[in-house]
Copies of this chain bind each other. A is one copy, B any other.
Amino acid sequence: MNSEETRFGMTKKRHAETFEKAVKEKKADEAFIPLCSFVAKTKNFFTSSCCSGRILLLELQKDEKKLGSNFHRKWHRQVKPEEAWNALQENTSGEIWFKMEPLILHLGTNNLENANIALGAMKRAGVKRGGIIVAKPGKFLFEIEGTQRISVPVKSNGKILLEKKFLDFLVKRANEKMKKNGKAIKRLEKEFRKALK
C-alpha cells in the first residue's frame, strides 16, 4: 500500500468507529442508519456526516447568519401543528424563521474514479444537488443535498406575522417534504448498494 492508501484506510476506519459509536449511543440519524451501515462495509467509501432532513424554528440575529443564531426548535421528524404554534408563543428575540431543510450527506472516497461512481449513483437516485467539495490525492469528499425546502420568516420583534391556520398549512407541507426526503434516502441507499464497492 502506498501512503495515500494508508491515509485513506485510516480516515475510513476513524469514520466507521464514530458511526458505530453514534448508533450504540442512539445519536445517529435513524433514517440514514441502513445507508451508512452499508457504506461502512464497502472497501472504498465512508460517510462522515448526515442529516435526514429537519424542521426548524431558527432564531436569526440581525445579520441573518446561522452562526450566532439559535435553534429555537429543531425536529428531525414530522411535527404537529400545535408544537410549532406553541413554540412561537414563547419569548424570543431577533427574527424567527420556519424552515424545512433537506437531507444532507457527506460521503468520502479514495480517488476520482470512485467519486464519479458515487456521483452517478446520486443522479440515478434522483437527488439533484451535490458535488465534490474536497479533491485531494487519496481523499475525495462529496456533499449530497436534497432540494425539498421551506424557508420563511414567521415572527419579527416579538410579533407573530401569520395566522395559526397558515402556520398549520406550512407544517403540513413541511411534513410532506420530510416524507419525500425519507423516500429519497431509500432511493440513494438502493443505488449505492448497486454501485459502491
Name A residues whose Cβ lies closer than 8 Å to a Cβ of B.
Answer: 112, 115-116, 119, 129-133, 135-136, 142-143, 145, 149-153, 156, 161-162, 166, 169-170, 173
Contact = CB atoms under 8 A, between A and B. Distances in A.
**How often does this chain occur in the complex, in copies?**
2
A73 to B, nearest CB: 18
Contacts of A150: 151-152
A161 B169 contact: yes
Contacts of A132: 131-133, 135
Top-6 shortest CB links A-B: A131-B131, A152-B152, A132-B132, A131-B133, A151-B151, A149-B151
A116 B133 CA distance: 9
A143 B156 contact: no
A150 B162 CA distance: 16
Nearest to A123: B133
B170 A166 contact: no
Contact of A142 (B116, B119, B131, B156): B131
14 contacts: A116-B135, A116-B136, A119-B133, A119-B135, A129-B143, A131-B133, A131-B143, A132-B133, A135-B135, A150-B152, A151-B152, A152-B152, A153-B169, A162-B162
A135 B151 contact: no
B173 A166 contact: no
A52 B66 CA distance: 22
Contacts of A162: 162, 166
B153 A135 contact: no
Contacts of A135: 112, 115-116, 119, 132, 135
Nearest to A133: B131
A54 to B, nearest CB: 15
